[in-house]
Amino acid sequence: MPPRTGVTRDRVVEAAVRVADASGAGALTMRALAEALGVAPMSLYHHVPNKEAILDAAVDAVFAEVDLPVVGAPWRAELRRRAASVRAALVRHPWALALMESRRNPGPATLAHHDAVLGTFRAGGFSLAATAHAYALLDAFVYGFALQEATLAFRDSAGGPGPSGAEGRPDVAAAADGLAEVLGGGAYPHLVEFVGQHALQPGYSFAASFEVGLDLVLDGLERLRARGAG
């Protein structure tokens, strides 16, 4: 599948996101990227300085998908919607989380994102000090939850596109199966209870804890706000 037109920086970044979505971060090599674009590996270097720049741009592309909060609108509803949007983006692009940790150059979408969140806190009556604590807590929760979801999910080597609506419940069952042998002895009684009596029960969904946790966090933020500067 040769490209209709020449390679561009944007086309390289789009392809990078597509390849990572389909096959994971490990499959995102310059050679694979070039093949996806129907071009020789070295051609990429005419539109991008190196692989790092591609990763920077790919992470920024994920941030560009996030539903920004509206500065001045009721902070709690806005930040609730934004938190769910960040998590959804990270579920769509599980490779992005690990990359974010090593990025040093935030792109325009990333900067606009942080600006909107900070503005929403400030307009909602949070002092600068409270905003710092609140933003740290809120994003620790959002990113940490996404990290746990990524850990539970199985996107080992292969990975394929997979059902896009697979929000429900990762393979807790498979993980538990692998553990069954180890759990044989009397060690880890609470782990056995939890997995057997709860996590493996029909109705269980790890994702359900997101809403519960988010509301508790937002409750905490409201008390932080009411408490004043600090």
Choose which of 143, 167, 169, 176 interacts with a copy of itself (CB under 8 A).
Answer: 143
DSSP code of residue 168? S
Residue reference for tokens 């037109």: 5
Give Rg (Cα) of the chain: 21
DSSP code of residue 6? -
- Mark 52-91 with x for binding to DNA (rule: CB under 7 A) and - for no binding: x---------------------------------------
Measured on CA atoms in the order 79, 82, 88, 89, is the torsion positive or negative?
A: negative
Residues near a copy of itself (CB under 8 A), total: 67
101 belongs to the binding site for a copy of itself (CB under 8 A): yes
Lookup: tokens for 177: 């199966």
CA distance 199 to 87: 21
CA distance 27 to 155: 12
177 belongs to the binding site for a copy of itself (CB under 8 A): no
18 belongs to the binding site for DNA (CB under 7 A): no
Span near a copy of itself by CB under 8 A; candidates 6-14, 42-50, 75-83, 172-180 = 172-180
Span near DNA by CB under 7 A; candidates 42-50, 61-69, 136-144, 216-224 = 42-50
Lookup: tokens for 61: 């592309």
> Residue 112 CA to chain centroid, in angstroms?
17
Phi-psi region of 134 (alpha: psi -120 to 50; beta: other; left: phi over 0): alpha
What, of DNA, a copy of itself, none, does residue 36 touch, CB below 5 to 8 Å by kind? none
- Nearer to a copy of itself (CB atom), residue 1 or residue 226: 226
Residues constituting the chain: 230
- At 139 the three-state DSSP class reads helix
Choose which of 40, 111, 166, 173 interacts with a copy of itself (CB under 8 A).
Answer: 111
Q: Binding residues for a copy of itself, per CB under 8 A?
A: 71, 97-98, 100-106, 111-112, 114-116, 118-119, 122, 128-129, 131-133, 136-137, 139-145, 147-148, 150-151, 154, 156, 175, 178-179, 182, 187-191, 193-194, 197-199, 204, 206, 208-210, 212-213, 216-217, 219-221, 223-224, 230
